[in-house]
Structure 1
Amino acid sequence: MKTSRKNPPVRYALSLTLALGLISTITWAQDGAAGIQEADSQVRSYFEPGTNLMYAIGAVLGLVGAVKVFQKWNAGDQDTGKVAAAWFGSCIFLVVVATVLQSFFGL
């Protein structure tokens, strides 16, 4: 009996494409370390201004929260404690996250 091979040119073309793709990947990977270093320096250059922005947003949230809590306190609302905990908790969380990220990345 004769064995039939299904589409041998397709297999060869697929093998050739895979081999060329692997060769091109290896060629591009030779410069990968320099690309990683460049990406690292770019991320580090944006990190400090981003952290300062998070601190500024936390300060603005603290001021807005203080005004909201003061208004509720003067109005005699019963849920003043909940509102204070929500506003100040959120701005403290934002500042803590910025500080932890800064210490985690060692900047």
Structure 2
Amino acid sequence: MSHLNDSTMRKRILFSTLGVFAVATAFAQGQGLAGINEATSMMTSYFDPATKLCYAIGAVLGLVGGIKTYSKFSSGDPDTSKTAASWFFACIFLIVAATILRSFFL
């Protein structure tokens, strides 16, 4: 009889342990989902200011590049077209990158 009680006791302990792990796992998943949702809302709240910051940086770099290109053009530098092209495509890239990142993540 003692052997039967040991086997029954082991089964009870095993099922109790599995039940506790199942409940703990379900609770952890609920907390994890809430954490993921909170992180997502925090990240999406930063995209509007970050996009505006990229546009502002693009505007400043555009002005600086325009002045640099004008000064090279005025001095007769033969490298003016390369400078103008790099300035233009850098501004376009910054604007397109900010717009695409915003549309991709939001």
Q: In which range does the TM-score fall when normalised by the shorter chain?
A: 0.7 to 0.9
Q: Which residues in structure 2 correspond to 1:1-107 (within 5 Å)?
A: 23=21, 26=25, 27-106=27-106
Deviation at 1:29, TM superposition (A): 3.0
Which is greater in Rg?
Answer: 2
Q: Return structure 1 stretches of 4+ with deviation > 4 angstroms.
A: none
2:77 match: secondary structure: coil
Q: Report sequence identity in percent.
A: 55
CA distance in 2, matches of 1:30, 1:70: 60
Give unpaired runs (5+ residues) of structure 2.
Answer: 1-20
Letter paired with 1:82: K
- Helix, strand or coil at the partner of 2:88: helix
Q: Where does the alignment leave 5 or more consecutive residues of structure 1 unmatched?
A: 1-22
Query: What are the Cα deviations for residues 11-35 of structure 1, in whole angstroms up to 9, with x where unaligned?
Result: xxxxxxxxxxxx5x83533311100
* TM-score in terms of structure 2 length: 0.72
Q: Which residue type is aligned with residue 105 of structure 1? A: F
Higher helix share: 2
Deviation track 1:67-98 (CA, whole Å, cap 9, x = no partner) reads 00000000000010100111121111011000
Q: TM-score, normalised by structure 1?
A: 0.72
State the partner residue of 2:17.
none
RMSD of the alignment, in Å?
2.0
CA distance in 2, matches of 1:40, 1:58: 27
